[in-house]
Amino acid sequence: MLAMKYDIKVNNLRKEFQIYRKEAGLKGTIKGLFKREYSTVRAVNNVSFTIERGEFVGFIGPNGAGKTTTLKCLSGLLYPTSGNVSVLGYEPWERRREFLKRISLVMGQKNQLWWDLPAMDSFLMNKDIYEIDEDTFYKKVDDLIDLLGVGDVVNIPIRKLSLGQRMKCELLSSLLHSPQILFLDEPTIGLDVVMQKKLRTFFKDFNRRFETTVMLTSHYMDDVKELCKRVIIIDDGVIMYDGSISNLIRSHAKFKTISFVANKKIDRADLDGLGEVVKLDDLSGVLKVERDNVPIVSSKLLKSFNIEDLNIDEMGLDDVIREIFSKG
């Protein structure tokens, strides 16, 4: 197959579900036996985007926004109601063998490894499923074991591993066949901050080393900030933003923070009218200031107080996303 500029092309993707509505109580149950009422829920509403080969894209939104539904359509687990989707030149829902051997879907809340067997047994089963030759398999296993640091646990039954160890083994299993596209759905959910950091480092190294195209959904903005230059924001099944994180912050962050350190105590009353006082100790403080007023406020601080240090920062990605969703 010829090389393509885009690994993923989505045009007006729409996915609807028929939801059964049941009245409460015995009466509602009996009524439902004879006449069922359904309503249509539109999970994804005319979504369009493209992703280039090797990109690491954050796909974010609140609960129920349509993130997982979109990933399931792209990986072929769901058939769309309408629209066109091309992944590596294939229509995902056809579930062709050649297509399935080139993608992988990792869901943080779903297990694919056999609970009572060591992870290595599941790896060997995947070797046969994906028709990986012996030499390639063991070289890949060794490389991934080294990258993930799980050499001491792959021969222990899965049920005896910690959540972090199981997640690493899940990843190893999903990457054995060297997928060209990796869909990550909340891969760090439930993990402690140390394990989240380790997995982010692994994803970054894996993407760089193998030029794998990655779509990541996560409610942890640290995942998105560290791994993705581009984000697609979806809410209520509709794309609200598609672009770089830096442009997102510049275009949606109406405020900046001014942090300062003085050599004399500053009273809160002295800061009235300059901005929202986020923090104020004896000699240091943080002000939240509208972007357009930052030059004026900074100048007033420097002229009116004995300022030793002053820093101006953009709002964090977490704050920007929170503000976007809170305003609908």
The residue with tokens 């989240």 is 196
Question: How far is residue 178 CA from its own chain's centroid?
Answer: 21
**Confidence (pLDDT) at 122:** 92
Mean pLDDT of the residues in the chain: 88
Percent of the chain whose pLDDT exceeds 70: 97
Residue 273 has pLDDT above 90, yes or no: no
Higher pLDDT, 190 or 104: 104
Alpha helices in 24-118 (DSSP H): 25-34, 67-75, 97-100
Tell me the domains of the chain and their CATH numbers.
6-249 (3.40.50.300), 254-326 (3.30.70)
**Confidence (pLDDT) at 317:** 81
**Confidence (pLDDT) at 73:** 95
Q: Quick one: average pLDDT of 241-262?
A: 87
**Confidence (pLDDT) at 1:** 43
Closest CA to 261 of 232, 281, 236: 281
- HSE, side-chain direction, 13 A CA sphere, residue 105: 17
Provide, for the chain, the percentages of residues in helix, strand and coil under a 3-state DSSP scheme, each rounded to the nearest 5: 40, 30, 30
Question: How far apart are alpha carbons 106 and 110 in whole angstroms?
Answer: 8
What six digits make up the tokens of 81?
């109601």
Tell me the residue length of the chain: 328
Paired sense of beta strands 6-21 and 56-60, if any: unpaired
**Confidence (pLDDT) at 268:** 86
For residue range 7-61, list pLDDT tens digits in order. Answer: 999 999 999 998 877 777 777 777 777 777 778 889 999 999 999 999 999 999 8
- HSE, side-chain direction, 13 A CA sphere, residue 328: 0
Rg (CA), the chain: 25
pTM check: above 0.85: no
Query: What phi, psi does 261 have (nearest 5°)?
Result: -130, 125
- HSE, side-chain direction, 13 A CA sphere, residue 160: 10
Q: Quick one: average pLDDT of 97-121?
A: 89
Question: How far apart are alpha carbons 139 and 144 in whole angstroms?
Answer: 9
Question: How far apart are alpha carbons 42 and 108 in whole angstroms?
Answer: 24
What six digits make up the tokens of 163?
């959540």
**Confidence (pLDDT) at 214:** 96
Q: Are 257 and 288 in contact (CB under 8 A)?
A: yes
What six digits make up the tokens of 165?
């160890």
**Confidence (pLDDT) at 105:** 92
pLDDT band at residue 216 using 50, 70 and 90 as cut-offs = very high
